[in-house]
Chain A
Amino acid sequence: KNEVEQSPQNLTAQEGEFITINCSYSVGISALHWLQQHPGGGIVSLFMLSSGKKKHGRLIATINIQEKHSSLHITASHPRDSAVYICAVEGSNYKLTFGKGTLLTVNP
């Protein structure tokens, strides 16, 4: 079993829909990171959180430490949100362990 599991693997939505991507992990962590990777492109850090909830624009990330679970929400999705979203957990040794990613496609 992978230390970091994301669901769904693939997600297709219509423009304007509310999107949720889930991440579960099985180890103790010091922080959880959400990253965005566009096809053929680089990686952008969206959030780093260790408790509660963070919001940037239309993106919201939450984490429940007791349940070892995090969610990434996108409100009013747009085709430019189409990308791979990656959850990564950071252990006490500062290493990141990554999920396999969720491929999001938002159709106009």
Chain B
Amino acid sequence: NAGVMQNPRHLVRRRGQEARLRCSPMKGHSHVYWYRQLPEEGLKFMVYLQKENIIDESGMPKERFSAEFPKEGPSILRIQQVVRGDSAAYFCASSPRRWQGTSNEQFFGPGTRLTVL
């Protein structure tokens, strides 16, 4: 049973280009979370998705960032017109279906290190 997979592991982009980060959740998991870890800072929540739905995107920057989790295929975090300040490690995590009022352990992927030149 493969864990959470992210690709690419390392991504280099020049300012103004687009970055696409992919996350395949663990088998049977229908919830995906994206987190960002800026250099020398802690992890910050970005967005929480279920299949075909964005549940909470309160941590996403208002511009240039978008996320999706289609019915088929991986979850995608897309950053348009990247700037140097976007350089960070982006982690996704997945969890199985939630029942109302319960918490679930989140399983993290290895992360994508984005470097913007």
Contact = CB atoms under 8 A, between A and B. Distances in A.
A42 B48 contact: no
A86 B106 contact: no
- Interface centre among B45, B55, B101, by most chain A C-beta atoms within 10 angstroms, is B45
Nearest to B106: A45
Contacts, number: 54
Given A44-B108, A45-B106, A48-B105, A94 B43 contact: no
B98 A94 contact: yes
The 6 closest A-B pairs by CB, nearest first: A31-B103, A43-B108, A42-B110, A98-B43, A100-B42, A48-B105
Given A42-B108, A48-B103, A100-B42, 20 more contacts: A35-B108, A41-B110, A42-B91, A43-B108, A44-B108, A45-B106, A48-B105, A86-B42, A86-B43, A93-B56, A94-B48, A94-B55, A95-B48, A95-B56, A95-B58, A95-B59, A96-B33, A98-B42, A98-B43, A98-B44
Interface of A: 30-31, 33, 35, 41-45, 48, 50, 86, 88, 90, 93-101
